[in-house]
Amino acid sequence: MSVDAPTFSPLYRQIKDLMIQALEAGEWRPGQLIPSEQELAARFSVSQGTVRKAIDELAAENLLVRKQGKGTYVASHHDPRALFRFLRLVPMDGDLAHPESVPLECWRAKAGLEAARMLGIRQGDLIIIVRRILRFSGDPVVVDEIYLPGEIFQGLTLEMLQDWRGSLYSLFETRFGLRMIRAQERLRAVAADRGTAEILKVKEGKPLLSVERVTYTYGDKPVEWRRGLYLTDDHFYLNELN
Amino acid sequence: MSVDAPTFSPLYRQIKDLMIQALEAGEWRPGQLIPSEQELAARFSVSQGTVRKAIDELAAENLLVRKQGKGTYVASHHDPRALFRFLRLVPMDGDLAHPESVPLECWRAKAGLEAARMLGIRQGDLIIIVRRILRFSGDPVVVDEIYLPGEIFQGLTLEMLQDWRGSLYSLFETRFGLRMIRAQERLRAVAADRGTAEILKVKEGKPLLSVERVTYTYGDKPVEWRRGLYLTDDHFYLNELN
DNA sequence: AAGTGGTCTAGACCACTGC
DNA sequence: CAGTGGTCTAGACCACTTC
């Protein structure tokens, strides 16, 4: 009853893997221009069309960004368009104001059973926990609790978070060389506990949208686990089903 | 300050549009095999590679399904894999039992302001409303209220819904020739009202996940508006962010 | 004008399916 | 074996950006 391993890997996929290695190794950094298709074709000794197909897939996975006439760039969370790739919360009245992140706390702890499982580390390993709120045009709408593996995020402090202008992930990218590739979210409806209710200025028991997210970097390695509680009176979570 | 219309449309995209027309006109029906790439290349007087790129995009949009060695098929909601394309609710304990749909009511009404706006019809136009529940291994988990334009769904009855084995969309496909292409969902957390609470066997005020969905057919035409209330004690809404 | 990605073609060969 | 989609190549030309 053994299942055969895939016995055939097309050339363009091998090239793609080589390019992922180059990205992972930091040879090409976020925001930078990578070599032209012609150069890559020469480097890997394949035709331009083959490199092209590899880049096509990497662009579809949001690892690279093509710009006609200019070249191909490594995707970066500094790009303002990247912000809403993971944040699906939208104001009900087309108000496009960017949310403002307000870090509240940042402390060290030992990983419990659940955090360890979600982050792929051992129970008892050092983790860093961040609490922050997200405000839309001044009003607190989201309370986030973010669990990070201590090994990767050594040196992260509340000050660092508070001083940073930009998204969390753009900070992670520049300070820790971490690229967030994809994420998985599990949504449920829950009742607001006392503390959360106070922060969001609602009554205890208020229905909130609970969003648990595990975020992965290269090689499907989990590097962030967070739980957000969203107040959905004036906002909703928008999801496109294709 | 005028914005230029896209002044250039590549050949493969024109071919793609022609193929969408063939799908829309019913020349190729769900589940059927379409002509081979060679035949299509001859029919449209382009190279196979150009047809290929058109099909690539249609396959990426889930309108077509390629099967190596066999040919290219028109996607169908009869395909069991299609079921979970739109239903993102997953049991917390990897229980893969398929949900069971239980239609409760089906009646005619005139479209109110909101239904008319969502369905792109005029206020007062005939609509059909369906109420049903979804059960996972016997337990009611979802209450759906579904609004359909009367013009398209003439003749839909509760009996028809109850007799049907399979998903709603597969019924719509065979009985009304309607292909659901994509959908948009807006999620919020709400408190259970009296009636819903009774059906789901929970207390009034229980936090529920409200899922509003607008579903589109060819040409981005909305043809269904539904609101579901999901009980998320033993299930969650799973979303992949890529 | 030079360099980039984007399109289009034609042909060869590979992998998979069904007869 | 023939027919299908899948891969790979080489070359020509187009559209966009920059100098």
Q: Say how far apart CA B162 and CA B177 lie, in whole Å.
A: 19
What is the gyration radius of the CA atoms in chain B, in angstroms?
20
Structural domains of chain A sorted by starting position, each given as residue range(s) with its CATH number in brackets: 11-74 (1.10.10.10), 80-237 (3.40.1410.10)
Tell me what the mean pLDDT of segment B210-222 comes to. 97
Tell me what the mean pLDDT of segment A127-135 comes to. 97
Say which range, A215-219, B6-10, B129-133, B149-153, has the weakest mean pLDDT.
B6-10
Instruction: Spell out the alpha helix ranges (H) of chain B.
Output: 11-24, 37-44, 48-60, 83-86, 113-119, 158-163, 168-176, 194-200
Whether the predicted model's global pTM rises above the 0.95 cut: no
Tell me: the pLDDT tens digits for B87-121? 999 999 877 778 999 999 999 999 999 999 999 99
Express the helix, strand and coil content of chain A in percent, nearest 5 each.
30, 35, 35
Contact A227, A145 (CB under 8 A): yes
Chain B interface, best mutation among A77, A180, A186, A190, by max B CB count within 10 A? A186
Contact A234, A91 (CB under 8 A): yes
Say if the Cβ atoms of B86 and A189 lie within 8 Å. no
Task: Say yes or no to pLDDT of B2 above 50.
Answer: no
Measure A240 CA to D3 C1' (Å): 38
Express the helix, strand and coil content of chain B in percent, nearest 5 each.
30, 35, 35
- Kindly state the tokens that stand for A164: 């940073």
Question: Among B162, B98, B104, which Cα is nearest to B132's?
Answer: B104
- The overall longest dimension of chain A from CA atoms, in Å, is 65
Scan for tokens 């089906």, then name that residue.
B106
Indicate the residue of B182, B232, B242 with minimum beta-carbon distance to A188.
Answer: B232
Q: Say how far apart CA A164 and CA A161 lie, in whole Å.
A: 5
Which amino acid does the sequence have at B45?
Answer: S
Average pLDDT over chain B, rounded to an integer: 94
Measure A46 CA to D19 C1' (Å): 30
Tell me: the pLDDT tens digits for B34-60? 999 999 999 999 999 999 999 999 999
